[in-house]
Amino acid sequence: MRFLLGFAACAVVPWIPGLPPFWVTLAGYVGIAAIVALGLVVLTGVGGMTSFGQAAFMGFGAYTTALLTTRFGVSPWLTLPAALLAAGLAAALLGAVVLRLSGHYLPLGTLAMNVALVYVVANLDGFGRNDGINGIPPLSVFGVALTDNRPYLTVIGAALVLALLLTRNLLDSRSGRAIRALRGGRIAAAAFGVRIAEARMVAFVYAALLAGLAGWLYAHMQRSVTPAPFGLGPSIDYLLMAVIGGVAYPGGAVLGAAVVELIHDRLQDLLPLLIGAQGNFETIVFGAMLLLVLQLAPEGIWPHLVRRRAFPPPHPSPSWGGAGRGGPPPLPPRAMPERGAPLLEVSGLTRRFGGLLAVNDIGFAVAAGEIVGLIGPNGAGKSTTFNLLTGVDRPNAGAVRFQGAQFAGLPPQAVARRGVGRTFQHVKLVPAMSVIENVALGCHLRGHAGPLRALLRRDRAEESTLFAEAARQLARVGLADEADRPAGTLALGRQRIVEIARALALDPVLLLLDEPAAGLRHAEKQALAALLRRLRDEGMTILLVEHDMGFVMGLADRLVVMNFGTKLAEGPAAEVRRDKAVIAAYLGAAPA
Ligand code: ADP
Ligand code: MG
């Protein structure tokens, strides 16, 4: 509906009587810039990556259509796919090199590409050097050439609304949740099967495609291209727009583009008068503006104008609440191993951090259908053991067999695929995402839709299946009422329970829980214990790290006790409780 209104506005606004042509042209530039900035919202605001090369991706789009139309006489509409392909391919190639590396490689790589592109087009005759390429034909619609900026503004506006629509579609999808988990939730996302490099690539290429579209629009508006608008300076301007508008908000891209273009335009007239000399003095003002915004409104202006979350709740409750009552069919469950069969066998597991032996030659076994408690004082190596079992960290030595297959050294995605779900001692939810979306991230491997299906909204059936499953798991842990709240607003204890629901959404064979009862009230602990017993009765196997001895003693079938990285004892709770070494370790490390 909002998008329909948007399209309608694009058709009407340019024709408002008395609208000065100057404003029409400026609005056109704002629209084009907003499309580029929207790409940065996905890339930077949502995905947490920085690009100093968006103007270059625009350049790929603009020069592609400029060359094809002027040298080869290709019709402008036919060059659109080529322009998108050029920008997308450039991003894919650059991304393949720099996205696997962390840190500053992406900003530096995009920066280098931008400098290189401008250098190439400004120095090769084929690209017209600094004079650029002139005589680009206008777009035509139904045989009418759009030489006037009014109808062209309609085209730009429609492209912007379409870009907003596609961005909504992408972010509200299985691929989108993977992208939204990149900033901060990377380890957890990987533990549920998200391929991080792929999610980064999707965001990067998507942003480049939007920039390519913007470049194509720009070329046919200007009817000529020169290197300057695709340089490093404009690239930084687009980042500025996104940050000032609100880098995590699609609406912020539009707002930021409008604010920056408008001020840019005014300052170019005003500053030379004030200062008495020609020059790009507006840069100084923008620098000051950026500092101000980062100080006063680090999230940008948009969230202060529009009181609303970064993304609307994607699935209004009724659509996923109807599981079983004509709702989507439930996901097929995984085959559970027979109770008592050997499930997890750990031997000689060792992990050194420099001189510290965090895990020292640990060995134990877990049979299907039992609850095993892994206990020990702080720093004993329990969480490290979990990380070694789930591929988050690699052991220096040792073997892990899961359902008979070698496990150690597998990446977290492969561990998840084999049916190991986990929670984290330090809660790793995506705070801005709703509770149910976080849980749906746990179903990542049970869906298949990729970004293309998401963009075209062909993923709705699968999405409602995934959300129905997520809703089922939330109900199972007793948090159905919290489904639509941003996960970061829950009390920490409840966030741990959301993590359990997310792990259950994987349909795990083995559940690894790292201090699930920490921060829970007594009644909540009892409810959790009841839930874990119920899960065991249903055939689930649970390995549990817990500090609350009352909780773990009453729950676990067997205990494994660690201290300073080594195994102190193993056996039924009643026996371990009387073990002298265990008592000494506990009294020594944590006097009660
Ligand atoms: P537990 O979960 O039993 O409290 P951990 O497994 O978190 O203990 O930590 C075991 C030991 O390993 C601690 O001394 C901790 O400081 C150390 N350790 C854990 N992770 C790292 C790391 N990434 N780098 C260096 N030391 C670490
Ligand atoms: Mg720990």
Task: Check if 54 has its Cβ closer than 6 Å to any atom of ligand 1.
Answer: no
Residue 589 pLDDT more than 60?
A: no
Residues 413 and 447 in one domain: no
Report if residue 160 sits inside a domain: yes
Decide which of 232, 254, 286 is a domain's last residue.
232
Ligand 2 center to residue 31 CA distance, Å?
50
Burial letters 331-349, b for 16+ CB under 10 A, else e: beeeebbeeeeebbbbeeb
Name the residue range of residue 479's domain.
431-507
CB 230 within 8 A of CB 62: yes
Residues 398 and 462 in one domain: no
User: Could you say which ligand is closest to the alpha carbon of residue 516?
Assistant: 2
Please report how the helices 492-505 and 522-537 are oriented relative to each other, as an axis angle in degrees rounded to 10: 10
Residues 175 and 79 in one domain: yes
Ligand 2 center to residue 515 CA distance, Å?
7
User: The domain spanning residue 537 has which CATH number?
Assistant: 3.40.50.300
In sequence order, the 6+-apart residues with CB closer than 8 A to the CB of 590 are: 377, 378
Measured CA to CA, the distance from residue 98 to residue 553 in angstroms comes to 49
CB 215 within 8 A of CB 208: no
Residue 482 pLDDT more than 60?
A: yes
Please report how the helices 76-98 and 196-222 are oriented relative to each other, as an axis angle in degrees rounded to 10: 150
CA distance to 41, 44, 271, per residue, from 101 (Å): 21, 16, 42
pLDDT band at 317 (very low <50, low <70, confident <90, very high): very low
Least confident of 216-230, 318-332, 429-443: 318-332
Report if residue 149 sits inside a domain: yes
Residue 319 pLDDT more than 50?
A: no
Residues 497 and 585 in one domain: no
Residues 495 and 362 in one domain: no
pLDDT band at 360 (very low <50, low <70, confident <90, very high): very high
Ligand 2 center to residue 391 CA distance, Å?
16
pLDDT at 382: 96
Residues 49 and 192 in one domain: yes
Q: Which atom of ligand 1 is nearest to the CA of 381?
A: 6
pLDDT at 373: 96
pLDDT at 169: 95
For the segment 494-506, the average pLDDT, to the nearest whole number, is 96
Decide which of 477, 507, 537 is a domain's last residue.
507
Looking at residue 377, its amino acid is P
Higher-pLDDT residue of 213 and 333 is 213
Looking at residue 194, its amino acid is V
Measured CA to CA, the distance from residue 351 to residue 409 in angstroms comes to 12
In sequence order, the 6+-apart residues with CB closer than 8 A to the CB of 70 are: 133, 134, 135, 136, 137
CA distance to 91, 100, 117, 236, 257, per residue, from 112 (Å): 13, 17, 9, 13, 24
Task: Kindly report, residue by residue over 267-294, the tens digit of the pLDDT.
Answer: 888 877 787 777 777 778 888 888 888 8
Task: Kindly report, residue by residue over 138-167, the tens digit of the pLDDT.
Answer: 999 888 888 888 999 999 999 999 999 999
pLDDT band at 324 (very low <50, low <70, confident <90, very high): very low
Mutation pick for ligand 1 pocket among 356, 359, 423 (CB with most ligand atoms within 8 Å) = 356
Report if residue 297 sits inside a domain: no
By DSSP bridging, strand 356-367 and strand 510-514 are: unpaired
Count the neighbouring beta carbons within 10 Å of the beta carbon of residue 589: 14
Task: Check if 377 has its Cβ closer than 6 Å to any atom of ligand 1.
Answer: no
Report if residue 282 sits inside a domain: no
Residue 314 pLDDT more than 60?
A: no
Q: Which atom of ligand 1 is nearest to the CA of 354?
A: 25
pLDDT band at 533 (very low <50, low <70, confident <90, very high): very high
Mutation pick for ligand 1 pocket among 351, 352, 353 (CB with most ligand atoms within 8 Å) = 353
DSSP of 319-376 = HHHTTTTTSPPPPPPPPPPPTTSEEEEEEEEEEEETTEEEEEEEEEEEETT-EEEEE-
Task: Check if 387 has its Cβ closer than 6 Å to any atom of ligand 1.
Answer: no
Task: Check if 209 has its Cβ closer than 6 Å to any atom of ligand 1.
Answer: no
Mean of all residue pLDDT scores within the chain: 91
Q: Per this entry, what is the length of the chain?
A: 592
What's the number of domains the chain is made of?
Answer: 3
Looking at residue 450, its amino acid is G
Report if residue 52 sits inside a domain: yes
Ligand 1 center to residue 350 CA distance, Å?
13
Measured CA to CA, the distance from residue 356 to residue 226 in angstroms comes to 59
Q: Which atom of ligand 1 is nearest to the CA of 384?
A: 6
CB 197 within 8 A of CB 60: no
Task: Check if 102 has its Cβ closer than 6 Å to any atom of ligand 1.
Answer: no
Residues 57 and 92 in one domain: yes
Task: Check if 231 has its Cβ closer than 6 Å to any atom of ligand 1.
Answer: no
Decide which of 507, 524, 551 is a domain's last residue.
507
CB 385 within 8 A of CB 347: no
Task: Check if 353 has its Cβ closer than 6 Å to any atom of ligand 1.
Answer: yes
Handedness of CA 8, 11, 16, 20 (dihedral sign): positive
Three-state SS for 591? coil
Residue 328 pLDDT more than 70?
A: yes
Residue bearing the CA closest to ligand 1, atom 6: 381
Residue 216 pLDDT more than 90?
A: yes
Question: Which among 31, 43, 314, 4 is positioned nearest to 173, based on CA atoms?
Answer: 314
pTM recorded for the entire structure: 0.93
Least confident of 410-419, 472-481, 525-534, 544-553: 544-553
Least confident of 1-15, 185-199, 368-382, 455-469: 1-15
pLDDT band at 308 (very low <50, low <70, confident <90, very high): low
3-state SS, 383-443, equals: HHHHHHHCCCCCCCEEEEEECCEECCCCCHHHHHHCCEEECCCCCCCCCCCEHHHHHHHHC
Residue 309 pLDDT more than 70?
A: no
Question: Which among 568, 419, 390 is positioned nearest to 559, based on CA atoms?
Answer: 568
Residues 219 and 75 in one domain: yes
In sequence order, the 6+-apart residues with CB closer than 8 A to the CB of 170 are: 42, 176, 179, 206, 451, 454, 455
Q: Which atom of ligand 1 is nearest to the CA of 385?
A: 6
Task: Check if 358 has its Cβ closer than 6 Å to any atom of ligand 1.
Answer: yes
Three-state SS for 456? coil
Q: Would you give the distance in Å from CA 363 to the centre of its chain? A: 36
Task: Check if 382 has its Cβ closer than 6 Å to any atom of ligand 1.
Answer: yes
For the segment 61-67, the average pLDDT, to the nearest whole number, is 98
Report if residue 400 sits inside a domain: yes
For the segment 130-143, the average pLDDT, to the nearest whole number, is 92
Task: Check if 380 has its Cβ closer than 6 Å to any atom of ligand 1.
Answer: yes
Question: Which among 313, 234, 205, 284 is positioned nearest to 32, based on CA atoms?
Answer: 234
Ligand 1 center to residue 427 CA distance, Å?
16
